[in-house]
Amino acid sequence: MRGGWPNCACCLLIQRARYPVATSTVHAVRRSCRTICHLMNTTTHSDPDLPPLAATPPGLYRHYKGGWYEVMDTVRCSETLQGMTLYRALYGGFGLWVRPAAMFAESGHFQGQEQARFVRHDPKSVPLADLATAQALVAYLQTQAQRNGLDTALRTPPVAPNTCCGRGCNGCVWETYFSALGVWRDEACGLLS
């Protein structure tokens, strides 16, 4: 817990909100979060009265359409008891999503080929070749550092260039950026291991 906030997803959302959050909302989230965090840390996921829960491993995933996501947990629907994968987008507004765990893990015929809906990736080996991937990786690793109380030990990632002429020159600013980001990623992964 840092600054009175537990290191969990619901508190991180309030802490990183892009818009002002009403004080009453903050207090309600803090009260609820303490209860939820306590329950998550003190109850087992193997309650004999419930059907088995096929958990989606937390981590970094890419959707077949190209979007990057962080799987945060597998939860249970209170109405159907069905396992649901809780995940957040690593782009745009970083929205939270929930999808049936079986659907999250399924393979199918998407975009003209047989493939998995989501594929898990090791952050240490994700190819750094485009800005969307770079931004997703930075967001994922910074969140992991914050959850582990290591965010102050993690140095600031390199800033993406904004001065590209588009001619594909040698020594392009993007090559330099991706190279520097690779060094930052190695440091971040080393810190988190």
What is residue 162's predicted lDDT score, i.e. its pLDDT?
81
What is residue 12's predicted lDDT score, i.e. its pLDDT?
53
What is residue 58's predicted lDDT score, i.e. its pLDDT?
97
What is residue 171's predicted lDDT score, i.e. its pLDDT?
59
At 93 the three-state DSSP class reads coil
Half-sphere exposure of 82 (CA within 13 A, CB side): 12
Domains, the chain, with CATH or none? 53-121 (2.30.30.320), 123-192 (no CATH)
CB 15 within 8 A of CB 5: yes
- Helix-strand-coil split of the chain, %, nearest 5: 35, 20, 45
What is residue 42's predicted lDDT score, i.e. its pLDDT?
38
What is residue 169's predicted lDDT score, i.e. its pLDDT?
63
Q: How far apart are CA 8 and CA 33, in angstroms?
A: 8
Report CA-CA distances (Å) from 139 to 6, 45, 63, 182: 19, 28, 16, 14
DSSP for residue 170: T
Q: What are phi and psi of 88, to 5 degrees?
A: -130, 145
Q: Is the Cα torsion angle 78, 44, 57, 185 positive or negative in sign?
A: positive
Report CA-CA distances (Å) from 187 to 74, 124, 141, 152, 157: 29, 10, 10, 13, 10
pLDDT in tens, the chain (193 residues): 444 445 555 555 555 554 555 555 555 555 545 444 444 443 445 677 888 888 999 999 999 999 999 999 999 999 999 999 999 999 999 999 999 999 999 999 998 999 999 999 999 999 999 999 999 999 999 999 999 999 999 999 999 988 766 666 655 788 889 999 999 999 999 999 9
Q: How far apart are CA 110 and CA 44, in angstroms?
A: 36
**pTM exceeding the 0.75 threshold for the entire prediction:** no
The C-alpha angle 175, 153, 32, rounded to 5 degrees, equals 110
CB 70 within 8 A of CB 87: yes
